[in-house]
Each structure stands twice: as structure tokens, then as C-alpha cells.
Structure 1
Amino acid sequence: MSDDSPESAASAFESNGAFEPTDDGYRVTTTAFEGTVVADDAPKWRVAYTVTVRAPTLSAATVETVGDAVTDGWFETLERRLEDAPKATRTSVELDEFGVERDGESVVVTYEFELGNADTAARVAKTFAEYVEGTYVEGVVPGYEYEGAVADLVNQAQTNGDGGAGGTPL
């Protein structure tokens, strides 16, 4: 059995403390957003990985109503910034697919890639999920009251980023 089989992927994800097994893959445990990873067979003895992260839309994360222009601009900026996730890894990763779409009150981010080393793939998948969360928090729009997981993340960023002096993460 090669290191790039789905069985080796299962072993790598199960031994990495950032993941918990689910019925159809692995849940990322290091982020506030819902992140999952699925490993499938790919050609030439490789494994294809799909990382999916669901985050709230800007409107779903705020107490106030957000106008269409702000919502659309925020979404377009988030999409452009998330495309750079492979640069955040310590591995050369080429994306086979990348997508950011709205699904009701969620933003669904998808990264698809193939790697030959399952342990490296687990680290890359974790990095992608954490990159989505960090990029999301960096892009929150000042002047709105946030709720839920986003409020917690913004509060944590404010506290950690400047010793508790307040202000937005940017």
C-alpha cells in the first residue's frame, strides 16, 4: 500500500489532532467555522482532497441590516483574498478547483488538490481551513455589531491583537 492511498489519508487525518472523523470525511476542529475534508482516489496512485469551509455571509453575521453594495463588495473581496490560500502553506500546492459561493446565509469555500503525501495533505487542509477563518476575520466591516461565531472571533482578534485596547482586527 502506498503512502498516497485513501487508507493512508485516513491514518494521517486521524493521527492529526486538528481533525475528527465524520460519516463522510473529517471535520476540522481548530476553527470556529464548519470545515470538512474528504479524501478520494485519484489517477496515478494519488489522492484527491476536497476542503470545504462554511462561514456565515456578512448579513448573517451582523445584527444590523447590511446593504447590497457592502454585501457584494465584501463577498468579492473575500473571494479574491481566499484564492491565495496555497501561498499560506509550506508546501507547493496547485489547486485543481477553487470556489467561493453563496448558499443562503452561508459562504461556501472549496479547495480541491492532489498530493502524494497524506501527512502533508492533512497539514495543507488544516492550513486552508484556518486561512478561510483568518481571512474572514481580517475582512469584517467596521461599524457593524457582529453576533455568533464571528462576534467571538472578532473579540478574540481584538483582545489578542492589541492587548485589549479595542478596535477592529484590521
Structure 2
Amino acid sequence: MTRELPDAVRDAFETHDGYEVTDEHARVTTTVFDGRVTVEGAEADWNRRYVVTVEVPTLSAVVEEVVGPAVEDGWFETLERRLEDAPMATRANLELDAFEVQRDDQQVEVTYAFTTGSESQAADVAKTLVEYVEGTYVEGIIPGYDYRPPVAGLLNQAQSGSAQGDRGGTPL
């Protein structure tokens, strides 16, 4: 069960770039998608379990055109497979306690859980996981569609290095 952030965790995340900390979670501020970190087993002074949750839109939620079920399912399955590799993006020797990707009509929720005794390492790892989800999402954009925000802005930023713009193609 998620509890209030322990003081040591709060301190580590507040001093780390890229977080906005509340009583219940730390929100990653370096991505356009909602990425947050909670702590389970907060009563322990060591080896806390951190749960990272990232919410991204489905493909059909961000395109102007109708996306067929085969394309949507293929896109989702590819995204899910690629997100399994997130631990390799961290500088830690990370073993996940849990990994889950769930999809509803317009939203995909990605969840990673890991255990560590270092609050500062947890802040680094969690931010990397959230940024990995965003980067993997952008890499999986399918050419030929007209994209709406926030994806259009991500694509324009990938093409030009600018965060401006409402529509765009693929980064390739």
C-alpha cells in the first residue's frame, strides 16, 4: 500500500533535479507524460520499494485519423516489449520487482517497481525509467498520421530541437 513519503526519501527527491514532491509522491517534471514515484513499505529505514507509474496516451488518442485495431494492437505490443528493456537504461544494477503495462481505451499505464536502500539512487533510477518510457514512446510513433499534442510537440522537438509546434511527422 502506498504511504506518505518518508523524510529521507522526500529529501533525496527534493534535492534531485526534475522532481516536484508532494506528501504522497514525487512527480517527474522532465517529461510531458505523467510520471510519478511512490514508496511502499515506508516504515523500513532501508530497502524501500519504489513504484514508478507513467501514463501515456494510446496511439488512437493522439492521431487525427482512425486507427485500425490491428495497427493499435501491434503498436501497443511493440511498446510493451520495448519497455521491458528499461532497466538497461539505468546506471544501476537494477532488478525489477514488478513490470506491468495496462491499456484502456485512451490511456496506457506503465508500472515499474524496484527495491533499493539508497534514496538518491532511487531518484536517479525512477527519473531514468520515466524518461525511458517517453523516449521509447516517441521512437514507436508510426509515420503517416497527423498527431495532436502532446505527441506533435514531442515530434517537432525531436526534428528541430524545439518544444514548439502542434503538428509533426516522425523523428526520422
Match of 1:28 in 2: 28
CA distance in 2, matches of 1:41, 1:20: 21
Please, which moves more after superposition, 5-14 or 20-29? 5-14
Residues 96 and 114 in structure 1, CA contact (< 8 A), matched pair in contact too? yes
**By how many angstroms is 1:116 displaced?**
1.1
Q: Within 1, Cα distance between the matches of 2:8 and 2:87? A: 22
Q: Which residue of 1 aligns with 2:135?
A: 134
Q: Shift of residue 14 of structure 1?
A: 1.0
Overall identity of the aligned pairs, in %: 58
CA drift of 1:87 comes to 0.1
Work out which structure has the larger RCO, using CA pairs closer than 8 Å and 6 or more positions apart in sequence. Answer: 1
Aligned to 2:171: 169
2:19 aligns with 19
Aligned-partner Cα distance in 2 for 1:84–1:37: 19
Query: 1:106 is matched with which residue?
Result: 107
User: In the alignment, what sits opposite 2:89?
Assistant: 88
> 1:15-71, CA deviations, whole angstroms, 9 ceiling, x for partnerless residues?
112110134201110000001100222678311100000000000011111110100
Structure 2: how far apart are the matches of 1:64 and 1:22?
Answer: 38
Answer yes or no: is the 8 Å Cα contact 1:56–1:105 preserved in 2. yes
> Which residue identity is paired with 1:30?
T
After TM superposition, the structure 1 stretch with the greater mean CA deviation from structure 2, 61-70 or 43-52, is: 43-52
The answer to whether the aligner puts 1:55 opposite 2:40 as a matched pair is no
Aligned residues: 162
* Runs of 5+ consecutive residues of structure 1 not aligned to the other structure: none
Q: What TM-score comes out, normalization by structure 2 length?
A: 0.88
Cα RMSD after superposing both structures = 1.9
Instruction: Tell me the amino acid that sits aligned with residue 171 of structure 2.
Output: P
SS in 1 for 2:150: helix
Confirm or deny: 8 A CA contact 2:145 2:169 kept in the other structure.
no
Q: Cα 1:116–1:84, aligned 2, differ >3 Å: closer, same or farther?
A: same
> What is the deviation of 1:167?
5.4
Distance 2:33 2:170 in 1: 19
Mapped contact 1:88–1:127 kept (Cα < 8 A): yes
Alignment-derived partner of residue 79 in structure 1: 80
Whole-Å Cα distance in 1 between the matches of residues 46 and 161 of structure 2?
Answer: 44
Letter matched to residue 168 of structure 1: T
**1:149-164 alignment, distance < 5 Å:** 149-160=150-161
Quick check: 1:6–1:41 contact (8 Å CA) kept in 2?
Answer: no
